[in-house]
Structure 1
Amino acid sequence: MAFADDLFQQAVTAHQTGDLDAAEHGYRQLLSHVPDHVSGLTNLASIIARRGDTQEAEALYLQAITAAPAHADAHFNLGNLYRRLGRVRDAASRYEEVLRITPNSPAALVNLGLAVGHSGEWPRAVDCFARAATIAPHLPDPLHYLADALARCGRRAEAVAALRESVSRFPDAPRGYQNLGIQLAASGETEDAVTAFERALALNPDYAEAHNALGVVQETVGRTDDAQAGYRQAIRLRPDFADAWMNLGTSLGEQGHAAEAIEALRRALTLAPNPLAGSALLLNLMCSAHLTAEQLKAEHVAWADAYANPLVPATVPPKRPPGAKGRTRVGYVMGDFRSRPAVAFLEALLTHHDRTRFHITVYASPVKPDEQLDALRRLADTWKPVAHLTDDRLAGTVRADEIDILVDLNGHGPGNRLLAFARKPAATQISLFGYPATTGLRTMDYRVTDAVTDPPGSAEELYVEKLLRLPDLGWLYVPPKAPEPNPLPAARNREFRFGCLNHPGKVSDASVETWAAILNAVPNARLVLLAGQSVTSAGALAERFTRHGVASDQIELINRLTATDYIGTYHRFDMALDPFPFGGAVTACDALWMGVPVLTAACRDARGRQGLAVLNALGLPEFVADSPDQLVTLAATWADQRDSLADLRATLREMMMQSPVTAAASYVKQLEAAYMSV
């Protein structure tokens, strides 16, 4: 026995000094003499697992457990192996065994919490982390994990309290302030969040994660240049920091730097494949004039192949039989409640659906409750907050609710839950409203559209989904509260003012070149653009026009606007310009609602045909150009017809009110008929 003890000690010494070859040799020599030496089996298994032979490692751990069922280390290490392999249920059972042997093991409680949390059992994870924090008050990790689990359960205030306790216990630990900042930011307490991140950076100026997280908060309060500086500093400290690359790319895209945004997002995806970064990349590619419609479809399909299609289940729910009794169950999935048009569209659906025929469930991921959400909640038959649910759990909820038709209102936009749709929880799944391209998902059965946005015979090849065309428009405009249109400004001024209040990312190089030609062709022309929140980006946008011979005083750049200021700005415009290849939909309608006609260039795919569809519905094809060159000609022609523009300005709102563009009740009837046809 002394000989075996010596062999074991020699192997342990080699193991501790990092000489894994000698340690492995020593453990194997030991086991040749004492095959059931539990510690030898366990330690050898850890080396073998580190080398990547997970099957042998598992066998060694199981041999150790067979030899000594109460050996907690063997159960614990086997649980860790299973967790690394993604076998979280097997991992959880091993940690539970450790707790039967040693009920107050903080490490087992923490790892059990991580395992069950990975499976979406966050309430149980909360219990595990809370016990660990009580048992081991000297350890910071349990409180950090507890806060994260509480937040995932929607218990944000308790998460903040746990982290305040953490920084109180461990005031010199920057990680506590970093995590506190994250939860404060998520609670909308941005000033306190900034303070927390700054404290983390005071303790550790090279804390890349804190630079990145501070940047995210700065972005929310309009300090975009500071935010981008933070992301870049995080990347300098950690060149492989995928999240910082993703945040930088998203921010650059928001400020109109599409090419740089695409480069940064591709870098993020190279470092760490991530469906959210992939969706952000697709949004920026939508703005690019350098991709054909076919290439854009291919990029969406590639996203789906990477992240969504592997999740398609072997069996899917059956379709509702024709003539079945009871109401058809429709579910709307919406993740972006910061968008006024999206919220207004959902409200119109909930208001006008025929509840004798349809039962409506909303799966909502709001940032925080408010009065508007309360009103929406009352309009739905069932309202389910799902922000805290994983995509898998959301899909399970939809399946359990026996939804017949599941409708996505996000596409690849912020807050999307496309990976829930990938799991095909409903027999029929439909893309509606906000995304003028294919989702790429095999499990998205239909896209609601119209014959102008997606012309029959040519558009089908650009989608994975089948096209479900409504008789009028594929979407509905719900007008905001707005003042009456004013008289044409150019009727009393020498200058003629064009405007575009679209997202600055949509102002492509092709748009800049064409609009510069318009400014050079129309005497006394000015252009007002929404420039975002970055001073640096605004200067770069103006410079793009000066390179095309536009005088600096012909361009006026304005920052982000409140809703009231935004709609009132249209009073200053004589005519609006629709960007291309990704044009406006709601923005075009806002201009028209304020009496401002919109000039648009018809493109091949839906992203550049939304303005065309609206103008067609209003009977105004004379504002549609077939090419950028014709757009210049149309702009110059209309700028000379100020009396006609003044007359049109006085009647446009009434035209909108009498058109299918705003006809909510008839739109929902058409949509319901489409639902029943699939």
Structure 2
Amino acid sequence: MTNTAAPAQPSDDLLQQAIQAHQAGQFEPAEELYLTILQTEPYHAVANHNMGLLAGQVGQHAAGLPYLHKALSVNPDEGQFWLSYAEGLLQAGEAVQALDIIETAIGRGLDNEQSQALRQRIDRAIATTPTLEERQHVVALYQAGDLAGLEQASRAMTVKYPASDFAWSVLGTALQTQGKDAFEALQNTAALAPHDAEAHGNLGMAWQQRGDLAQAVASYTRALQLNPDFVEAHGNLATALLAQGELEQAEQAGRRALALRPDYVKAQIALGDVQHAMARHDEAVASYQQALALQPGSAGIYLNLGNAQQALQQWHAAVVSYRAALHLDPQLPLVHANLAAALREAGDLDQAIATYRQAVAAEPGNAELHHRLGQTLQAHNQADEALAAYEQALALDAGFAPALTSLALLQCRQKNYPVAIACAKQAIALLPQDAQAYGHLGIIFGETGDQEAALDYFQRAVAIAPTDARAHMQLGDYHYSIRQHELAVEAYRRALECAPGDAGILNNMGSSLQALKQYEQALDAYQRSLESDPGNTLTLCNIGGNYQDWKQLDKAREYYQKALAIDPKMARAHFSMGNSHMLDSQASQALGYYRTAIAINPHYRDAYVNLSATLNNMGRLDDALDACREGLAIGPEWDNLFSNYLFLMSHSATISADAMFAAHARFGQTFEALAAPLRAAHDNDRDPLRTLKVGLVSGDLHNHPVPHFLLPVLENIPAAANLSLYGYYNDAEDDFVTERLRQYMPNWRQVERMSDADLVKQIRADGIDILIDLSGHTGKNRLRMFAARPAPIQATWIGYPLTTGLSTVDYFLSDPFFSPLGELEDQFTEKLMQLPVCAPFLPSEYAPAIRPAPALTNGYLTFGSFNRLNKINRQVVARWCKLLRAIPDARMLLAAMPTSGPQAVLAGWFAEEGVAADRLTYEGRTGIGQYMEMHHRVDICLDTFPYGGGTTTFNALWMGVPTLTMAGPTQPSRAGTSILRQVELEEFIAADEDEYVRKALAMAANPMLLGAYRFSSRHRLERSAMGNTGLIAEGLENGLRLAWQRWCEGLPPVSFEVPVAVPNPPIGL
């Protein structure tokens, strides 16, 4: 029998929409629509019936029974309802009840071919299902703990009822509980009960125990398709994915398990293991500690916690954790060795040696343990015992190269050079590609005075330790210059063995340690440097900076003051003091120090940048712009200050579009003139169809909003797209997002330390055809380099909503909604390349389900703003207050607010407009989950201007909250209108402030309509072009190809709309 959705009443439009979605296989939208109907009409027979059918279609037969029963109760004269309910009972395993229902239906006159066929199927099911007495018998055996009897009875049941998933499931339980192989039973259970999530979950565990991780993942995934809230399946999936090395997916699975059951220890441990594997050790520590709070007697969790703490170089904490593990389980593998290593690093060499001896006693045949014992003994100046430990390691494994190297160094320290050289050469023979072995031999030759041989081996092992301070300091300086701080620290440490107390080496080593966030070790190096050169103000400032990074701001200021006591005119110390006050939310004090730094050194460009940023964060935008102008009057070529100025201009409600464009064009003129010597003709092959080399330039290729938009597009560019992607990354921050981006841009360049000239040379050497800026006038941009036009075609995309001002940038990648052709071209030096949509929207994984509009329960409208504070100016507040005055009982929630300072300014603006403070709620910055949850408290968001909301508008829509906006004269003021038009919500776009108020009043008068918008918003986003990442990727590829073809033909850039094979269809709501 095939169940189909019952026909709707013609007047029931909402039901018709639900049925259409249902019949089209769009189950989630259909479910939302049915539930919307049932919220207002809980006894709507058709909606209940169709909801029950839908549950069965996704395998949730039991969940659908209440809906089917209610439909039948409401309208027992509808024959289809009897058939559907009987079918649901049958599929849910309730064959006896199904027989009762179908017999009742037939007795009521529903005697036809369809009902008789269903009755026959029910009869067959009853015949192949254990009786109630049989099932009760095996349950009693299980409860009595009679596992042998349970196995015997369930085996007999599988013989009698071979098609009974219940019988096979009981057998599987009996075998598993006894430690026997239950794989066949679990396989049969899952095959016979394909919609039973627990059966698939149990089968997944069996696959995992057999080592078949792919099959395990498949089974867990199937279980979760059937029951998305199956906590154990999420937890087990996390462990299987971790074992496969699929770390990001494993983390997602673990977090889903914990979201469903926060006290699920297995998932908490799995999350910690994943974070540890991803080198996010601080997060792993937190996860293990949460697991211990739930299960404090677990030695294994303490071991894992110690490992994570050791990875963070939290040696003392690791010691405590390892000792706790040993207390709980003295035989736990690895604990002794790990405890000894932590003790050694913590400086407790006596305890480390004693613990290594315990480990060696437990595993006397482990060469590595003997070697570690020897290293610790050597560090404790027990050379003879260290020698014996190394020799024992080599007696166990003559080819153990690390022991040979350590022995060579020990013999070298004892001046037994021939033996040392022989050992080191033997190590190299075993590991001919081991640079460290070559470096160690270089040290030995250096100690012998054979500098030629030493240099030879240092050159072979250029990244490893040299023999004297001068060579290693040079190597350390090199590694520091390219931000390889671990190598730099090692180099400086080796140098210090040859020149202890050298102030310069110690200062440089402190800088590397500070960059590694090893603040205690950095402080030690700086203080040792000061012992050699007590009056060095640079080192004093560095100590202050170290404390500042360490979040010890009072101590930071103490050392800045020490530097100023020696040199009151040290501009850097004043500047650093300003930074420390800014980090402490003391903006007024920060301003004074920045101004002093500028007074001492009027050419201190970073002081102007930070001064303007501080003023802007205080809500003093006009003053911030004045600070930029002051600096640019001195340094018109200061590109970062100029970009900051332009970015701030885009937030001003008093600067016209023409004035803003003129300022951007002035930037272009200034830096194009400076870059003229770097420009040269391009000799790229003008083949219009060849593979194109496309370079992407950004300082934000890490966990930042830009990759959030960029990655989905890159993921959807097909391998056959004839695009070879190059990444030019202008920052050193490296995280999991950076790693993902590298996968799509295999030609990766770190360029943050390259000069413009060097970067131009690199791009030309790479043969880039199209170079795309992803920053615009935001931080860490390289627009000055773009002024040299290193590529024949250049474009800007994603990072900034206004023109670069550069005539050397040919295209601004946008879309017809954001910058319609014929309206904004005069605000761009670039031509507009109109993609189907300029960037995709991906919802946050932390977004909860949409709830009804709060106005329905509150009885009043709640407006909201989630935009950053510096988008909210005096004019914005005035516009908002027009609504609040027009709707006297309305409230407003302002999120992402600072705890003090600028918030008081904002509150003053509302007071000036006559809006009482008790109508306003301020919420601070939160994590993404709380931020998304906060949307449940808001009915309508209010946009800012002239810099409107982008990501905030997207997130609000995803949470069902539309944004009331009004298009302005510049592109930043059109973000809201662009997004709303794409999702066909033009009714929230006002033409002027009067209409702005009218629209708000209309919504306040019709909260039910607002609720309808709320529950359709996700569907709108998903159906819009913004949800079609494949379409955007196709548009990008086609647009770049068309631009290239024009260049090949010698044609100038023009604005154009990019064609795609299949345009995105209308949303259709």
Which 10-residue stretch deviates more, 359-368 or 622-631? 359-368
Q: 1:420 aligned to 2:780?
A: no
Paired with 1:377 and 1:544, the residues of 2 have a C-alpha distance of 47
Counterpart in the other structure of 2:864 = 499
Q: CA deviation at 1:624?
A: 0.5
* Aligned residues: CA RMSD: 3.6
1:342 aligns with 2:342: no
State the match for 2:561 in structure 1.
Answer: 201
- The answer to whether the Cα contact below 8 Å between 2:594 and 2:610 also exists between their aligned partners in 1 is no
The answer to whether the aligner puts 1:279 opposite 2:635 as a matched pair is no
CA spacing shift, 1:151–1:463, aligned 2, 3 Å? farther
For residue 410 of structure 1, the aligned residue among 775, 783, 806 is 775
Do 1:442 and 1:464's aligned partners in 2 also have CA atoms closer than 8 Å?
yes
Amino acid in structure 1 at the alignment position of 2:612: G
How far apart, CA to CA, are the structure 2 residues paired with 1:256 and 1:143?
43
Deviations 1:533-571 (A, max 9, x none): 361111001111211111122222232222222222212
Q: Pairwise mapping of residues 468-547 of structure 1 onto structure 2 (< 5 A)?
A: 468-470=833-835, 472-481=836-845, 482-530=847-895, 532-533=897-898, 535-547=900-912
**What's the CA shift for 1:180?**
4.3
Structure whose alpha-carbon radius of gyration is higher? 2
- Tell me what 1:174 maps to: 537
Partner residue in 1 for 2:820: 455
Answer yes or no: is the 8 Å Cα contact 2:774–2:796 preserved in 1.
yes
Q: Which residue of 2 aligns with 1:260?
A: 623
Change beyond 3 A, Cα 1:141–1:497: same
Q: Secondary structure at the match of 1:502?
A: coil
Asked if the contact 1:584–1:611 (Cα under 8 Å) also holds between the matched residues in 2, the reply is yes
Helix, strand or coil for the counterpart of 1:456? coil
AA at the equivalent of 1:333 = V
Give the TM-score of the pair, scaled to structure 2. Answer: 0.48
The 1:190/1:277 distance shift into structure 2, 3 A limit, reads: farther
Please give the alpha-carbon distance, in whole angstroms, between the structure 2 residues aligned to 1:671 and 1:434: 16
Residue in structure 2 matched with residue 384 of structure 1 by the alignment: 749
The separation in 1 between residues aligned to 2:593 and 2:831, in whole angstroms, is: 45
Equivalent residue number for residue 766 of structure 2: 401
Deviations 1:644-672 (A, max 9, x none): 11111111112111111221111111111
- Would you say the 8 A contact 2:732–2:750 is kept in 1? no
Distance 1:336 1:213, change over 3 A: farther
Whole-Å separation in 2 of the counterparts to 1:459 and 1:135: 66
Q: Distance in 2 between matches of 1:389 and 1:549?
A: 54
CA contact (8 A) 1:499 1:527 kept: yes
Range moving further from structure 2, 381-390 or 643-652: 381-390
| 2:702–2:735 Cα contact (<8 Å) kept | no
Identity of aligned residues (%): 28
In structure 1, distance between residues paired with 2:597 and 2:698 = 37
Equivalent residue letter for 2:621 = A
Where 2:858 maps in the other structure, the secondary structure is coil
CA contact (8 A) 1:409 1:432 kept: yes
The residue aligned with 1:601 is 966
**Shift in CA distance, 614/232, structure 1 to aligned 2, threshold 3 Å:** same
Judged with a 3 Å threshold, the aligned counterparts in structure 2 of structure 1 residues 151 and 301 are, in CA distance, closer, same or farther, namely: farther
For residues 275 and 147 of structure 1, what CA distance do their matches in structure 2 show?
31
Please state how far the C-alpha of 1:369 moved relative to its aligned partner. Answer: 2.1
- Taking a change above 3 Å as real, the CA distance of residues 480 and 533 of structure 1, as seen in their structure-2 partners, is same
Q: Which amino acid aligns with 2:628?
A: L
SS of the aligned residue for 1:499 comes to: strand
Which residue does the alignment assign to 1:216? 579
Aligned amino acid, residue 229 of structure 1? Q
Once the two structures are superposed, what CA deviation does each residue of 1:465-514 show, in whole Å capped at 9, x if it has no partner?
111112x3222222221111221111100232111111211113321111
Paired with 2:876 and 2:552, the residues of 1 have a C-alpha distance of 41
What is the Cα deviation at residue 195 of structure 1? Answer: 3.2
Q: Which amino acid aligns with 2:529?
A: S
Q: Is the 8 A contact 1:595 1:651 kept in 2?
A: yes
Q: Which residue of structure 2 lines up, in the alignment, with residue 659 of structure 1?
A: 1024
Q: CA deviation at 1:355?
A: 2.6
Counterpart residue type for residue 944 of structure 2: P
Match of 1:323 in 2: 688
Shift in Å, 1:282: 1.1
**Cα deviations across residues 368-405 of structure 1 (Å, max 9, x unaligned)?**
32233223323332222222323332222222111111
- Cα 1:439–1:622 change in 2 (3 A) is same
Task: State the Cα distance separating 1:611 from its structure 2 match.
Answer: 1.3
Distance 1:498 1:338 in 2: 33
Letter in 1 for 2:558: E
Secondary structure at 1:535's aligned position in 2?
Answer: coil
CA distance in 2, matches of 1:577, 1:381: 42
Structure 2 CA distance for partners of 1:133 and 1:275, relative to 1, 3 Å: farther
Deviation readout 1:233-277 (Å, 9 max, x if unpaired): 342465255433321211222343311211222223334442111
Q: AA paired with 1:317? A: H
Counterpart of 1:506 in structure 2: which amino acid? K
SS at match of 2:1027: coil
Q: Which runs of 5+ in 2 are unaligned?
A: 1-472, 1044-1069
Secondary structure of the 1:468 match is strand
Alignment-derived partner of residue 937 in structure 2? 572
Instruction: Out of 299-308 and 454-463, give the one that drifted further.
Output: 299-308
Larger relative contact order (CA 8 Å, sep ≥ 6): 1
What is the correspondence of 1:53-64 to structure 2 with a 5 Å cutoff?
none
In the superposition, relative to structure 1, how do residues 144 and 400 fare at CA in structure 2: closer, same or farther (>3 Å)? Answer: farther
Displacement of 1:190 in angstroms is 3.1
Within the candidate set 665, 675, 684, 1:311 is matched to: 675
State the distance in 1 between where 2:861 and 2:709 align.
34
Q: Which SS does the other structure have where 1:448 is aligned?
A: strand
TM-score of the superposed pair, with normalisation by structure 1: 0.74
Q: Tell me by how many angstroms 1:311 deviates.
A: 0.6
How big is the shift at 1:176?
0.7
Contact between 1:446 and 1:465, CA under 8 Å: does it hold in 2? yes
Amino acid at match of 1:596: V
Q: Is the 8 A contact 1:495 1:523 kept in 2?
A: no
Distance across 1 between alignment mates of 2:517 and 2:1008: 58
**Structure 1 residue 208, shift from structure 2 partner:** 4.6
> Which residue identity lines up with residue 611 of structure 2 in the other structure?
L
Aligned counterparts, 1:11-30, within 5 A = none
Q: Give the unaligned 5+ runs of structure 1.
A: 1-109
Distance 1:182 1:203, change over 3 A: closer
SS in structure 1 at match of 2:719: coil
Deviation, 1:140, is 6.0
CA–CA distance in 1 between the matches of 2:497 and 2:760?
Answer: 35
Match of 2:39 in 1: none
Q: Please report how far the alpha carbon of residue 294 of structure 1 lies from its aligned counterpart in structure 2 after TM superposition.
A: 1.0
Residue identity opposite 1:475 in structure 2: A
Q: For the Cα contact (< 8 Å) 2:522–2:546, is it kept in 1?
A: yes
Letter of the aligned partner of 2:907 in structure 1?
A
Post-superposition Cα deviations, 1:595-622, rounded to whole Å, max 9, x if no partner, equal 1001110112211112111111111111
Of the three residues 267, 285, 288, the one matched with 2:652 is 288
**SS of structure 2 residue aligned to 1:492:** helix
Is the 2:864–2:941 Cα contact (8 Å) retained in structure 1?
yes
1:233 and 2:593 are equivalent in the alignment: yes
Structure 1 residues 234, 208: closer, same or farther in 2, change over 3 A? farther
Is 156-165 or 472-481 further displaced after alignment?
A: 156-165
Q: Distance in 1 between matches of 2:660 and 2:1007?
A: 39
**Secondary structure of the equivalent of 1:433?**
coil
Whole-angstrom distance in 2 between the partners of 1:569 and 1:309: 49
Which protein is richer in helix relative to its size?
2
Give aligned pairs, total. 553
